[in-house]
């Protein structure tokens, strides 16, 4: 299990292939990407890492936790693994990390994929965060995790995957990073605001948005598409916030086609 300055990561695919780095959302765990690894690793070297404070990575996160600090961790991971100009694929907060990294170091990334992300927090997302925090503070970690699928997945998918979600809830309890860390990560997501800096982010970007996302309105991706100089928007009619899981085959096909077209 490789480690870079307290960040733990897994590697998949050919060692000499183009590099993809996968950065997950609020949960921060590399395990989020299980539905995508096999397809992406066929022709790419794929690195999936646990954010600092989550998963197998160091739980010590000193100072003020910000998206910019998480972007600095991404840059640290890239340098310590010896990777040159990878493509960053980020879900929600993971996408915000990519945007912040591309702004701070324009030459760091070759390309960027942002799945259901935003430039500035939407009031609806803020309301969802308030609800999740209330559950965490008033009812504890299990209630927080039990409600989590409601924000991530469409109702039919939840019905069809009840047993899987029950197993994931138990795993979530076993590896829960603690209420304080969850609150710090949500606070960092709330404060993130690059709305007026979008024109300065020149890295080619694929934006993926779901029309039925319960957590982040798809209009947030429209704002990113209008503000970024080199962006392409792919919209899914359904799939929910975690559309790369619920519609993994469709997502993988879109992503690989875009990667191929950008490489030409």
SS (H, E, C) 6-35: CEEEEEECCCCCCEEEEECCCCCCHHHHHH
Mean pLDDT across 227-236: 97
What does the pLDDT read at residue 143? 98
Side by side, the strands of the sheet bearing 3-4 are 3-4, 7-12, 45-49, 19-23, 87-91, 111-115, 205-210, 231-236
Q: Please give the structure tokens belonging to residue 75.
A: 């840059």
CA 73 from chain centre, in angstroms, equals 14
Over residues 83-105, the pLDDT tens digits come to: 999 999 999 999 999 999 999 99
What tokens appear for 193 in the block?
């605001």
Mean pLDDT of 234-261: 95
Asked whether residue 205 carries a pLDDT value surpassing 90, the answer given is yes
Model pTM? 0.97
**Whether pLDDT at 250 is above 60:** yes
- Residues 155-199 have pLDDT tens digits of 999 999 999 999 999 999 999 999 999 999 999 999 999 999 999
Q: Which of 1-10, 22-31, 62-71, 175-184 has the lowest mean pLDDT?
A: 1-10
Mean pLDDT of 245-255: 96
pLDDT tier for residue 20 given thresholds of 50, 70 and 90 = very high
Please give the pLDDT value at position 145.
98
Predicted confidence band at 263 (pLDDT cuts at 50, 70, 90)?
low
- The mean pLDDT value for 110-132 works out to 98
pLDDT digits (tens, 9 = 90+) for 29-47: 999 999 999 999 999 999 9
**pLDDT recorded at residue 3:** 79
pLDDT reading at 122 higher than 80: yes
1 pLDDT above the threshold of 90: no
Sequence-ordered list of residues with C-beta below 8 angstroms from that of 134, at least 6 positions apart, any chain: none
* Backbone phi, psi, residue 91, to 5°: -100, 120
Q: Are strands 3-4 and 87-91 parallel, antiparallel or unpaired?
A: unpaired
pLDDT for 264 beyond 60: no
Which residues contact residue 11 at a Cβ distance below 8 angstroms, ignoring those fewer than 6 apart?
Answer: 2, 45, 46, 47
Residue ranges of domains in the chain, CATH in brackets: 3-263 (3.40.50.1820)
Q: What is the pLDDT of residue 91?
A: 98
Sequence-ordered list of residues with C-beta below 8 angstroms from that of 176, at least 6 positions apart, any chain? 141, 145
Q: What is the mean pLDDT of residues 241-255?
A: 97
pLDDT of residue 262: 73
pLDDT at 23: 98
């Amino acid at each position: 299990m490789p480690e870079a300055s307290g960040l733990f990561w897994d590697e998949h695919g050919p060692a000499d292939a183009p590099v993809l780095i996968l950065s997950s959302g609020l949960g921060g765990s590399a395990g989020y990407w299980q539905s995508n690894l096999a397809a992406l690793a066929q022709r790419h070297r794929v690195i999936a890492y646990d954010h600092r404070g989550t998963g197998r990575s160091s739980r010590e996160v000193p100072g003020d936790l910000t998206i910019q600090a998480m972007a600095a961790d991404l840059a640290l991971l890239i340098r310590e693994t010896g990777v040159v100009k990878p493509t960053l694929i980020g879900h929600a907060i993971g996408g915000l990390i990519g945007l912040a990294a591309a702004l701070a170091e324009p030459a760091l990334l070759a390309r960027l994929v942002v799945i259901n992300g935003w430039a500035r927090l939407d009031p609806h997302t803020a309301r969802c965060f308030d609800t999740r925090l209330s559950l965490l503070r008033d009812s504890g970690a299990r209630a927080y995790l039990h409600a989590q699928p409601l924000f991530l997945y469409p109702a039919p998918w939840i019905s069809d995957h009840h047993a899987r979600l029950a197993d994931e809830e138990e795993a979530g309890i076993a590896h829960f990073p603690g209420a304080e860390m969850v609150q710090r990560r949500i606070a960092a997501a709330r404060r993130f605001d690059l709305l007026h800096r979008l024109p300065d982010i020149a890295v080619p970007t694929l934006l993926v948005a779901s029309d039925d996302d319960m957590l982040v309105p798809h209009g947030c991706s429209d704002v990113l598409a209008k503000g970024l100089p080199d962006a392409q928007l792919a919209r899914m009619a359904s799939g929910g916030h975690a559309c790369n899981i619920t519609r993994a085959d469709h997502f993988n096909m879109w992503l690989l086609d875009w990667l191929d077209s950008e490489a030409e």
